Each structure stands twice: as structure tokens, then as C-alpha cells.
Amino acid sequence: MNVKSQSGIGIAMTEHRRRLEIGVFLPNAKNGFALSSNAVAYTPSYEENLAITLLAEEVGIDYVFSMLKWRGFGGATQFWDAALDSFTLTTALAAVTKRVRLIATVNPLLSNPAVMAKMSPPSIA
């Protein structure tokens, strides 16, 4: 495609089309992402995360993210005091999904990078 600039000089442009990819964070820690005493409190479960993942796969979501939490905030809301392990959860979800990409987040300051690399499967993308 040629486009004329304001000076009248033709500029060759390459057309690149990329598809927007969308992901969703799983609520795998107590009370999810709402640090509030007004929000309905809940404890995470595999069943709930499985249902969300399968729905995400069905409607065409590209990624499902699982956050890694080592410790909660405590207090009245007990925010993040209970959490499903990120790697264990995504491994269990991988057994029942076909298309959606699963991402287990890690904290590189708490995890040895060589161990994390060894735990990760080779990319299939």
C-alpha cells in the first residue's frame, strides 16, 4: 500500500494485522481482587476455577492467568489468606482444556529461575 505524505512523497507501508488477545485472571485466592469488607467473601475452589476456565475456552478467551500468592493481608477481610497454588491449579486445568492457554504466574524473587524453567513445558505456540 502506498500512502502520500504531506510533502507529496509516496511512502510504502506494510500492512500488519494482529489479533487482539484477551485473558482473564482466575480468582484463585480468597476474596479475589476486591480488597473490601463490603464485597462478598469467598474461599477459592478448583471447581469454581474450572468452571471459569471452561467458560473462557468456550467463548474464545485466549489466556487464563493464575496468580501466585504466598501470604495474605490478614485483618478483618482475610484478603488472600487462602490461595490455590498457581502451578498446581494450571496443571490440573491443562488436563481438561483443549485450546485456552494457561499461565501460572511466579514471583522471580522467591523462585529460582533455573527451577522455574525446568518446571515449565516447552512452548507450543
The alpha-carbon radius of gyration of the chain (Å, integer) is 21
Is the residue at 6 inside a domain? no
Q: What is the pLDDT of residues 24-82, one digit of tens each?
A: 999 888 766 667 677 777 788 999 999 999 999 999 999 999 988 777 667 777 666 77
The total number of structural domains that make up the chain: 1
Is the residue at 1 inside a domain? no
Element at 3 (helix H, strand E) = strand 2-4
Is the residue at 11 inside a domain? no
Is the residue at 44 inside a domain? yes
Domain carrying residue 27: 19-119
Judged against a pLDDT cut of 60, whether residue 92 lies above it is answered with: yes
Is the residue at 13 inside a domain? no
Q: How far apart are CA 80 and CA 29, in angstroms?
A: 5
The pTM score is 0.72
